[in-house]
Every structure is written in structure tokens, then in C-alpha cells.
Structure 1
């Protein structure tokens, strides 16, 4: 089942950082929406967009799946 052409499915530092930032934004935004705090909801939307941008920047800096600074871990 091992394929050397496998893209990695985003298992890289850039992807992990982006997803964690976006999850925090979604969680805070959901709570703010529930408690009717529109300013915090919009700030959370900005955090989600920021997470996407941080992921792109880290990928461009070489921390993406095919980046030179990323060393994949062997699957067990």
C-alpha cells in the first residue's frame, strides 16, 4: 500500500499550523455567534482568513509537503 507518489495529504507543518489557527477561529466564532457577539464573529472570520494566509506563507517558505524544509516521518 506504500506509494512513493503519494502527495502527503497535507501532513506538513504548514498544513498543521493553518488548520489549528482556523479551528480556533471557527470555535471562537461559533461561540460568539451563539452568544450574539457580532464583532467577535467578524474577528473570528479574520482569524480563519489569517490561518489560510499563514499556511500559504509557510508552504512558500518550504514547510509544505514538497518543501525543502519538510522531512516526512515514516508511517508505522
Structure 2
């Protein structure tokens, strides 16, 4: 496969991983709390998901996104 410079990177950046991992934790907390019927903790899970979104955006703004100056992609052989 050839590498296309216009390709967005499909989220292979530290910013994307930060956001996704935090949001997965939030979904897990919220799902377990929903199953156990602990409503306040469900809302904690929602807050964690929102925090994950914001953390990913902030990391991208700090240069860790696909087009950021601090992101160095791995070369594909």
C-alpha cells in the first residue's frame, strides 16, 4: 500500500488514544453501575466519557494529534 499524505490517520495518535481509553473507562463504569442500578455512579460514568472527549481534544490542541508537531508516526514497511 502506498502512503497518502491526505489520509487523516484513522485516530492513530496519542490524542486519540488518550480520549478513547478514558471514554472506554467511562462506558465501563456507567454500564456496570447501570446494571447494578447505582444511578449516581451512572452519571459519574457519563462525566468520565465527557472528560475523555475533552482530554482528547486538549491533547490534539497541544500537538499530539495526527497533524500535530509533537506526533511522530511510525513508518510503515
Q: What is the CA-CA distance between 1:75 and the residue it aligns to?
A: 2.4
Q: What is the CA-CA distance between 1:31 and the residue it aligns to?
A: 0.4
1:69: which partner in 2? Answer: 70
2:20: which partner in 1? Answer: 19
Aligned residues: 76
**Runs of at least 5 residues in structure 2 that lack an aligned partner in the other structure:** none
**Does 2:7 match 1:6?**
yes
1:30: which partner in 2? Answer: 31
Q: What is the CA-CA distance between 1:6 and the residue it aligns to?
A: 1.5
Alignment RMSD: 0.9
What's the secondary structure of 1:75's corresponding residue?
Answer: coil
**Does 2:46 match 1:45?**
yes
CA distance in structure 2 between the aligned counterparts of 1:26 and 1:55, rounded to whole angstroms: 16
**Runs of at least 5 residues in structure 1 that lack an aligned partner in the other structure:** none
What's the TM-score once normalised by structure 2's chain length? 0.94
